[in-house]
Amino acid sequence: MIETKLELIRNELPSEVKLVAVSKFHPLEAILTAYQAGQTVFGESRPQEFEAKAVQLPKDIEWHFIGHLQTNKLKMVLPYASLVQSVDSRHLLTAIDEWGKKNDRKVRVLLELHVGLEETKQGFVEEEILDILFSAESYRNVEFCGLMGMATNTDDEEQISSDFQRISDFMEYLKDLFPELTSFKELSIGMSDDWRIALRYNPTMVRIGTAIFGVRDY
Ligand SMILES: *Cc1c(COP(=O)(O)O)cnc(C)c1O
């Protein structure tokens, strides 16, 4: 049951770690069940689905966008997103900044760091993130709030730990290097299969879907 699973996870999470319930591919009723059990932060990864859910569900839900975002879909996502966790290209960042300017909004984002062994995983390498943050002021309508990352999809706990260690170390390094970026403090790591490992590496958010809502029907 969704309520029971939520409660078990919440009991294990330190109070300073925000639980983002990843509801992609699950129906409105499942989200409402979690909402009625006190969950208010949800993550979605497809723009159309994100928008449809955001307009139909209670207005006090905090929506995070966590999937790949194409620049022609910004208008479906940005009006409702309190955080875009998955900024993975400069092109996207520039488009978000322009949207923010047009709509008089400062858009909160996380930069996605690529750490997993998979070639296909999206995200920046460390040097690109450094370059972006050195020119953070030129993105006037973007608020840089931290990093998001995914560990390699493997059963090898050492590999997963080393991926999380790398993101966590880089986060600490960036906070020291850019003390003027006062919002840059969120570290979003950990999913259903690896969030307990992630907890050793100082996350401020975990993104959990399957362990709350069950297996997705793609
Ligand atoms: C789907 C997804 C999750 C949740 O994955 P689960 O394994 O179902 O917990 C977390 N983060 C991102 C970026 C995702 O796309």
Q: Is the pLDDT of residue 180 over 80?
A: yes
Distance 180 CA to ligand 1 centre (A): 31
The secondary structure of residue 201, as a DSSP letter, is: G
Atom 12 of ligand 1: nearest residue by CA position: 66
Distance 123 CA to ligand 1 centre (A): 15
Ligand 1: nearest atom to the Cα of 216: 8
pLDDT at 121: 65
Displacement of CA 22 from its chain's centroid (Å): 10
Question: What is the per-residue pLDDT across 18-29, written as a single tens digit (0 to 9) for each?
Answer: 999 999 999 999
Ligand 1: nearest atom to the Cα of 22: 4
pLDDT at 117: 84
Distance 25 CA to ligand 1 centre (A): 11
Atom 13 of ligand 1: nearest residue by CA position: 66
Q: Are 39 and 72 in contact (CB under 8 A)?
A: no
The pLDDT > 70 percentage for the chain reads: 100
Distance 80 CA to ligand 1 centre (A): 19
pLDDT at 95: 98
| Mean pLDDT confidence for 120-132 | 92
Over the range 46-59, which residues count as b (16 or more CB within 10 Å of their CB) and which as e? Answer: bbebbbebbeebee
pLDDT at 206: 98
Among residues 25, 31, 33, 37, the alpha carbon closest in space to that of 55 is found at 31
pTM assigned to the model: 0.97
In the beta sheet, which residues pair with residue 206? Answer: 19
Determine phi and psi for 109, rounding to 5 degrees.
-135, 155
| Mean pLDDT confidence for 180-185 | 98
Distance 208 CA to ligand 1 centre (A): 6
pLDDT at 196: 98
Strands 18-22 and 205-208: parallel
Whole-number average pLDDT of the chain: 97
The binding-site residues of ligand 1, defined as CB within 6 angstroms of any ligand atom, are 22, 24, 45, 66-67, 191-193, 207-211
Ligand 1: nearest atom to the Cα of 210: 8
| Mean pLDDT confidence for 90-105 | 98
* Cβ neighbours of 196 (radius 10 Å): 13
pLDDT at 217: 80
| Mean pLDDT confidence for 158-165 | 97
Which tokens in the block code for residue 49? 């689905």
Strands 205-208 and 107-113: unpaired
For residue 122, name the pLDDT band (cuts at 50, 70, 90). Answer: confident
Question: What is the per-residue pLDDT across 7-53, written as a single tens digit (0 to 9) for each?
Answer: 999 999 999 999 999 999 999 999 999 999 999 999 999 999 999 99
Candidate of 13, 20, 44, 45 to mutate for ligand 1, largest count of ligand atoms within 8 Å of Cβ: 45
For residue 131, name the pLDDT band (cuts at 50, 70, 90). Answer: very high
